[in-house]
């Protein structure tokens, strides 16, 4: 059988060799606690923690003190959303979208349980937020708008620059979950006040990420302790992880110009050929789409069965959002773009990465039509 053909890079990515190498120094040789005073610790602080902060802030066009290291984007999202709410004396109004990651949606539900009000903006059939809807929803008591940069399931890239400008006109804070966009293409920080990113989606380690917080934005910490990260995130910093995140960021930046068109070309080939399968559809937009993302629905079959059958053929892909698997709930994103339940259950997400080859794509395109046909033959639903 073929070696593993990994097509689930939106779920996670393999750690790059140079990232692993950069990290390894800080596990053993320079293992000091960056808060201690002796020289090993100073190296961990200067060469590990602060040098990484500098590399990441340079990439983003931010100031060093605007980067708060966290345990990943789930924490960054929670810190941004709850941190803004908790910094205020009174209940407030918040705006987000129906297609956010659960790290955002569940944080907002938590706020609703505590007396805050949340407006969930709908999206069009491509997953795009209408800037006019945002404008209409802003109120005098709106504290924060949170809209993702790019959707993890259907790859829609939202017009973040424009949405953040509208929000800024009203003096309201703007947060974006940029997990799927960070490192993949140049980001527009513009009027963005808070931005979440994660290491493991860009060939860095799991369990590390950051929140960009524009200088001056009021935020209440969620963790209390030694006052690390300017008091916003107590807890000894994960120095090897942070070094890995910075190294991974720079690698992404170096490769962007070649890698984006390469992945887009492979992705477009997949879309063109998969749409030849009868009763298939592409979910998400043709334009304004992450270059590595393709998401399909196949009438009459369950997404889970497709994923399992592909797995038997050594192809790793996902259905719905990998983060909510193995839940058998239909994807909230696909329902939000107007898909009926039957199609929302039958989705397949293919996300390419740096290690995806043309041969991998050929192999997928050989196997997938057979898998769909087999499942349709076996399915009572398909008639
Ligand atoms: C859009 C989005 N936000 C947040 C997360 C959570 O990131 P982490 O795994 O770093 O907590 C993910 C991961 O799947 C994601 O795709």
**pLDDT 10s digits, 202-220:** 999 999 999 999 999 999 9
Q: Would you say the CB of residue 351 lies under 6 angstroms from ligand 1?
A: no
pLDDT in tens, 162-185: 999 999 999 999 999 999 999 998
Give the number of residues written for the chain.
Answer: 383
Rounded average pLDDT over 73-98: 97
Q: What was the pLDDT predicted at 284?
A: 98
Residue 156 Cβ inside 6 Å of ligand 1? The answer reads no
The protein residue with its alpha carbon nearest to ligand 1, atom 8, reads 73
| From 247-251, 312-316, 329-333, the region with the lowest mean pLDDT | 329-333
Residue 321 has pLDDT above 50, yes or no: no
Which atom belonging to ligand 1 lies closest to the Cα atom of 11? 14
Rounded to two decimals, the pTM is 0.96
Question: How much is the average pLDDT of 121-131?
Answer: 98
Instruction: Count CA within 13 A, CB hemisphere, residue 192.
Output: 26
Q: Cα of 304 to ligand 1 centre, how many Å? A: 21
Give Cβ neighbours of residue 218 (< 8 Å, ≥ 6 apart). 84, 87
Is the minimum distance from the CB of 103 to ligand 1 under 6 angstroms? Answer: yes
Q: What is the pLDDT of residue 320?
A: 75
Task: For residue 72, report the distance from its CA to the centre of ligand 1, in Å.
Answer: 8
Instruction: Name the residue at shortest CA distance from atom 7 of ligand 1.
Output: 73
Per DSSP, helices labelled H in 144-192 are: 160-169
Q: How confident is the model at residue 359 (pLDDT cuts 50, 70, 90)?
A: very high
Would you state the pLDDT for residue 38?
92
Kindly indicate the confidence band of residue 45, based on its pLDDT and cuts at 50, 70 and 90.
very high
**CA distance readout (Å), 218 to 66, 79, 343:** 12, 11, 43
Beta strand pairing status for 93-97 and 117-121? Answer: parallel
Question: In angstroms, what is the span from residue 176 Cα to ligand 1's centroid?
Answer: 12
Q: Is 229 helix (H, G, I), strand (E, B) or coil?
A: helix
33 has a pLDDT exceeding 80:
yes
Are 30 and 43 in contact by the 8 Å Cβ rule? The answer is: yes
CB 175 within 8 A of CB 81: yes
- β-pairing, 209-213 vs 194-198, is antiparallel
- 5-12+257-382 is classed CATH 3.90.1150.10: yes
DSSP characters over 205-218: -SS-EEEEE-TT--
CATH class of segment(s) 17-251: alpha beta
User: In which band, very low, low, confident or very high, does the pLDDT at 323 lie, cut at 50, 70 and 90?
Assistant: very low
Does the beta carbon of 211 lie inside 6 Å of ligand 1?
no
What pLDDT score was predicted for residue 329?
Answer: 79
From CA 33, how far away is CA 54, in angstroms rounded?
19
Q: Which atom of ligand 1 is nearest to the CA of 100?
A: 1
pLDDT at 325: 47
| Ligand 1 mutation pick, 78, 97, 102, 103, max ligand atoms within 8 A of CB | 103
Q: Averaging pLDDT over each range in 34-43, 115-124, 337-346, which range is the top one?
A: 115-124
Active site residues: 323
Domain ranges across the chain? 5-12+257-382, 17-251
Judged against a pLDDT cut of 80, whether residue 327 lies above it is answered with no
The pLDDT mean for the chain works out to 95
**Cα(177) to centroid(ligand 1), Å:** 8
Across 304-320, average pLDDT: 95
Cα 100 to averaged position of ligand 1 atoms, centre (Å): 10
Please check the confidence at residue 358 and state whether its pLDDT lies above 70: yes
What is residue 90's predicted lDDT score, i.e. its pLDDT? Answer: 94
Residue 172 near ligand 1, beta carbon < 6 Å: no
User: Contact, 150 vs 256, CB < 8 A?
Assistant: no
Residue of 69, 175, 198 to mutate, ligand 1, most atoms within 8 A of C-beta: 198
- Using CA atoms, how far apart are residues 325 and 303, in angstroms rounded to an integer? 11
Identify each DSSP E strand in 93-227 by its residue range.
93-97, 117-121, 142-146, 173-177, 194-198, 209-213
Q: Report the distance separating Cα 144 and Cα 34, nearest Å.
A: 33
């Amino acid at each position: 059988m073929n070696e593993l053909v990994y097509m689930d890079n939106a779920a996670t990515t393999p750690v790059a060799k140079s990232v692993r190498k950069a990290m390894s120094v800080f596990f053993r040789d320079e293992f000091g606690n960056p808060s201690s005073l002796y020289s090993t610790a100073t190296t961990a602080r200067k060469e590990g923690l602060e040098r990484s902060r500098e590399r990441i802030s340079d990439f983003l066009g931010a100031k060093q003190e605007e980067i708060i290291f966290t345990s990943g984007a789930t924490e960054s999202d929670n810190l941004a959303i709850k941190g803004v709410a908790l910094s205020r004396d009174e209940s407030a109004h918040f705006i987000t979208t129906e297609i956010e990651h659960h790290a955002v949606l569940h944080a907002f539900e938590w706020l609703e349980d505590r007396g805050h009000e949340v407006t969930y903006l709908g999206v069009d059939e491509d997953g795009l937020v209408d800037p006019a809807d945002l404008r209409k929803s802003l109120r005098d008591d709106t504290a924060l708008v949170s809209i993702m940069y790019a959707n993890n399931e259907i790859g829609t890239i939202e017009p973040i620059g424009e949405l953040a400008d509208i929000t800024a006109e009203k003096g309201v804070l703007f947060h974006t979950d940029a997990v799927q966009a960070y490192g993949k293409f140049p980001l527009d920080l513009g009027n963005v006040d808070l931005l979440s990113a994660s290491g493991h989606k860009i060939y860095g380690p799991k369990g590390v990420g950051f929140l960009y917080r524009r200088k001056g934005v009021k935020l209440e910490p969620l963790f209390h302790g030694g006052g690390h990260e300017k008091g916003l995130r107590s807890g000894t910093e994960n120095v090897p992880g942070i070094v890995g995140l910075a190294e991974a960021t720079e690698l992404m930046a170096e490769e962007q110009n070649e890698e984006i068109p390469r992945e887009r070309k492979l992705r477009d080939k997949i879309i063109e050929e998969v749409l030849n399968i009868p009763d298939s559809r592409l979910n998400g937009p043709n334009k304004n789409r992450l270059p590595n993302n393709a998401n399909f629905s196949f009438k009459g079959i369950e997404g889970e069965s497709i994923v399992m059958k592909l797995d038997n053929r050594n192809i790793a892909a996902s259905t719905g959002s990998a983060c909510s698997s193995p839940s058998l709930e239909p994807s909230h994103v696909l329902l939000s773009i107007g898909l009926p339940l039957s199609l929302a259950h039958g989705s397949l997400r293919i996300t390419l990465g740096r290690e995806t080859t043309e041969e991998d794509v050929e192999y997928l395109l050989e196997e997938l039509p057979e898998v769909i046909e087999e499942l349709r033959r076996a399915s009572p639903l398909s008639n």
